[in-house]
Homo-oligomer: A and B are copies of this chain.
Amino acid sequence: MMKLTPQRQAILDIINASHRHWDADELARAMSDAGQSIGIATVYRGLAALESQGLIDSIQLADKKRYESADKAHHDHMVCTECGHIEEFSHQTIEQLQLAAAEEKGFTLTGHQLVMFGLCRQCNQAQGT
- Do B98 and A116 touch across chains, with their CB atoms under 8 A apart? yes
**Interface pick from A5-13, A14-22, A119-127:** A119-127
Structural contact, A117 and B109, CB atoms closer than 8 A: yes
Question: Can you tell how many copies of this chain the complex includes?
Answer: 2
**Contact A118 B102, CB 8 Å, known A62-B60, A107-B78, A107-B80:** yes
Query: Which range contains the number of A residues in contact with the other chain?
Result: 20 to 34
Name the B residues within 8 Å of A25 (CB-CB): none
Residues of B within 8 A of A73 (CB): none
Which of A89, A110, A114, A124 has the most CB atoms of chain B within a 10 A radius of its CB?
A114
Cβ contact within 8 Å between A97 and B98: no
A111, CB-defined interface residue at 8 Å: yes
Asked if B107 contacts A111 (CB within 8 A), the reply is no
List CB contacts (< 8 Å) of A78-129 with chain B: 78, 80-81, 87, 89, 91, 93-94, 97-98, 101-102, 104-121, 124
Chain A, residues 53-79, CB within 8 Å of chain B (1/0): the string is 000000010100100000000000010
Q: B-contacting residues of A (Cβ < 8 Å)?
A: 60, 62, 65, 78, 80-81, 87, 89, 91, 93-94, 97-98, 101-102, 104-121, 124
